[in-house]
Amino acid sequence: MEFRILGSLQASVDGTPVPLGGVIKRRLLACLLLNANRVVATHKLLDVLWPDETPRTARKMIGNAVRGLRLDLAQGDPDTRAYLLTRAPGYQLRVDPRAVDLFRFREAVEQGRAEASAGRHTAAARTLRGALGLWRGAALADMAEDGLNWPELAGLESERLSAFEEYAEAGLTVGDHHEVLGPLQLAVAENPLRERLSAQLMLALYRCGRQTEALSVFRRIRHELVEEYGLEPSPELRRLERAILEHADSLDGPASPAVERRGTPERLRVASLVAQQPVGRPHPSDAPGDAPASRTVSRMDPDHRRHSAEPGRRRVSVVLLWVRHDLADEHGADGVQRTLADAGAVLRQESARYGGVVASAAAPLFCAVFGADHSRRDDATRAVRAAFALLERLGGGRPAAGAPAVEVNVAVATGEALLAPPAAPGGVPTVTGGALDRGFRLLTMAPRGQVRVCEETRRATEACITYHVGAEPPEGWEAVRVRPAAVHDLHEMRPAAPDGTDVLGASTARSRRRGAESG
């Protein structure tokens, strides 16, 4: 058996999900898993299951839930089962710790810390990245949506953040500041007052040649600390700001893979993440004659300028793309940089086709905005369709043979945003505001191969897009496909490919052919 609590609560036997029934039984199992192999007193179960008012039949309800759980656990190989035992003054769930993702996470974190202490920072970064990969969202996210508020959950989130900080520290120590920059930006967006995270982001930005952005991180956290708490940043953070202003040699650290790559006389040949031709998924945007992504950026520039953003506050939809590399993969820096360049080029193509514009972002995080020039009724639908096309073109995070191992996360959020014009001719606009913040939160929880959207996006697109029912917040809604009946109502949002091809028209024709063949 396997149990997963780092995300929504799940149980499985030999990979087959086990239905867990109602709220009481699920909460009982969650509490016992958090305290696996320890006796949990009945009075504590009463407190956590009914924090406000305990019903008179509470003990009977616990007894019924215990009997139901014992039936659920009596599946699979007896040698690998979990057992729910009656042990005074309550109950004990006896389970192999390796069968619970929380304990595998903790074991991996301890291993990563030991590797870092021994000076093996590359191995530590790889191990800690693997530990963080066990998280699928907030711990027991489905129960938190139902109002569950156990102190243990806040403790688990602190463990997660501490592990992430140690992962980022290991990456910065070995010069992987380009690799950790995107995740750090997401983490700071969700935890703006956590000073160690802000310090790591400042250092990563500085080493990537973005000194002014590094200093803006300091100004932002100082403003929030002073305004909300009347406190100045810590001495460590202030010293880091001074060191950045002085370009202190101590900040340089090891050479990054990107710097090493610039010194390489001949570019290595590494298979691209992006397939040369799209393959079948619902309504792909596969215009004939597309060139490989790494060779299309210059060809897209004229079309991109046609959709230039105007400054100001408006309602927009943003598509966020996060390309995450597996540190255990043995591909060199050249292969990693090429996959990121290809992903950025694909985003340029698909956002332009659906009427969006690429916005300021740093690899491995990419962003496109829909409604940048002026808000349209169908901006959210355009954004979701572009997100579908992104996953199609990027293979849902399944790279071609020989390419670096990656995960692709995609999220769409809708709301108010402030757009600033490009800093230089031919540049891209900068977007900030609630829509982007909401998208960041969704992006950290978006499973590979899915498009996750916020509630506002779902409401704006439900006439055209089919969704799986899910919790929102925090995990958002999973967009599944474009509704077949909606294709005929979307002529006004028909985008033109760079070569003039009517992409949506071609997709509609394919849909009709498939319908005729299946009929």
**DSSP letter for each residue of 424-481:** STT---EEESHHHHHHHHHHTTPPTT-EEE-HHHHHHHTTTEEEE---TTTT-EEEEE
Please, which residues bridge with residue 312 across strands?
Answer: 419
**Residue 442 in tokens:** 């969704």
Sheet strand arrangement including 10-13 = 2-4, 10-13, 16-17
Pick the CATH number of 106-259 from 1.25.40.10, 1.10.10.10, 3.40.50.11890, 1.10.3720.10: 1.25.40.10
Q: 80-113 burial, b if ≥16 CB within 10 A, otherwise e?
A: ebbebeeeeebbbbebbeebbbbbbbbebbebbb
Residues 6+ apart with CB under 8 A from 227: none
Domain boundaries, the chain: 2-101, 106-259, 293-518
Torsions phi, psi of 77, nearest 5? -65, 125
Write down the pLDDT at residue 403.
Answer: 54
Q: What is the CATH number of domain 293-518?
A: 3.30.70.1230
Chain centre distance of CA 389: 18
Pairing between β-strand 10-13 and β-strand 2-4 as defined by DSSP bridges: antiparallel
- Both ends of the chain: CA-CA distance in Å? 42
Query: Pseudo-torsion of CA 293, 299, 301, 303, nearest 10°?
Result: -100
Helix H or strand E segment including 171: helix 151-173
Q: Which 8-state DSSP code applies to residue 496?
A: B
**Residue 464 in tokens:** 């055209």
Torsions phi, psi of 473, nearest 5? -80, 175
Interior angle at CA 206, CA 201 and CA 212, nearest 5: 95
Write down the pLDDT at residue 409.
Answer: 86
Half-sphere exposure of 35 (CA within 13 A, CB side): 18
pLDDT tens, residue order, the chain (519 aa)? 899 999 889 988 888 888 887 888 888 999 999 999 999 999 889 888 887 788 889 999 999 999 988 888 887 677 777 888 988 899 999 999 999 999 999 999 999 999 999 999 999 999 999 999 999 888 888 887 666 778 888 899 999 999 999 999 999 999 998 889 888 988 898 888 999 999 999 999 999 888 988 999 999 999 999 988 899 999 999 999 999 999 998 898 776 444 443 333 333 222 333 333 333 333 333 333 333 333 323 333 334 333 444 557 788 999 998 887 665 555 566 777 778 888 888 888 888 888 888 887 676 888 999 988 777 888 999 999 999 988 888 875 444 555 556 778 899 999 888 877 766 555 677 777 778 888 888 887 777 778 888 888 988 888 888 887 554 445 678 888 887 654 434 434 444 343 433 333 333 344 444 444 444
Write down the pLDDT at residue 200.
Answer: 95
Distance set, CA 8 to CA 5, 20, 86, 91, 136 (Å): 6, 12, 26, 23, 8
CA distance 302 to 348: 11
CA distance 41 to 32: 10
Q: What is the CATH number of domain 2-101?
A: 1.10.10.10
Please, which residues bridge with residue 481 across strands?
Answer: 466
HEC string of 15-46 equals CEECCCCCHHHHHHHHHHHHCCCCEEEHHHHH
Chain centre distance of CA 21: 29
